[in-house]
Structure 1
Amino acid sequence: MTSQDHGDIWSLCDNPTTHTLKGYQDGVSITPAFPRTGDDITVQVRGHLLSDVTNGHVDIQLNLMNMIKINKELDLCNVLESDVMKSSCPLNAGDVTLNAKAFIPKELPKLPLKGDIKITDQLGNTVTCIRLDFKLQ
């Protein structure tokens, strides 16, 4: 996928040509199409991983209408092994499918949400970076 490939509410960020996870055409899906408070959001990324990922980080930088800022750096293996992803480390080179499912609290205001979720590997290389841009329903 290229930086021009995107869905209604997401796009690739940073420089997609340097990502070590080469997403397949239509390889990213986010459901529902318009995320709602009080419901789950599911993200699936399918692609070809160029090298093994033994550990790394997930950097989350999200803003709700620039009023509520979420900045977190999480351990990739802990995220993979959590209830959100139900996977494990290492991620082996080759075809991969990453699934994440999380609940959006009903208490969040129905405001525009923008930001990046970036996964880096043990060497600091960008595995993938997804930019979100939508209004919570």
Structure 2
Amino acid sequence: FPPAEAEVMATFRTHSDKVMQQLSQRAVEITEGLAATYNLKFIVDWVEKFPATKNNDDCVDILEEVAQKLDIDYIYRSQPFPWSEDFAYFTQKYKGAFFGIGAGEKHPQLHDEFYDFADEITEVCVEIFLEIINKILKV
């Protein structure tokens, strides 16, 4: 049989750059081991490698205060969002906090092929950002 080609893709998300480095290195080690075991050739190509998004505690406090003031339920994600996020570059330079405003657990997530912005949450989104601005400006 002629040689075949295969492509394996993976997405890694971590809460720290150190863990990302360890995970990336381990993925390469596993690939090297499989290649040696099965006499394979491989190429590792990293695409969209973002640093970890690190939320500033003061900014998170502001978000909590705003949510409480507006009587909005909020949760802390146990896992990072499943999409790539270049907001990490912003939080390396400025204080910030990355958060999502959801339309409900049964609504398709952002970047899902069936996602359609829920227009009914527009008003609450504006209220949230207005309160954040007021808190920062101490209005």
Same fold judged by TM-score > 0.5? no
TM range (shorter): under 0.3
Task: Identify the structure with the greater strand proportion.
Answer: 1
Task: Identify the structure with the greater helix proportion.
Answer: 2
State the structure with bigger RCO (CA 8 A, min sep 6), 1 or 2.
1
TM-score, normalized by length of structure 2? 0.23
Rg (Cα) greater in structure? 2
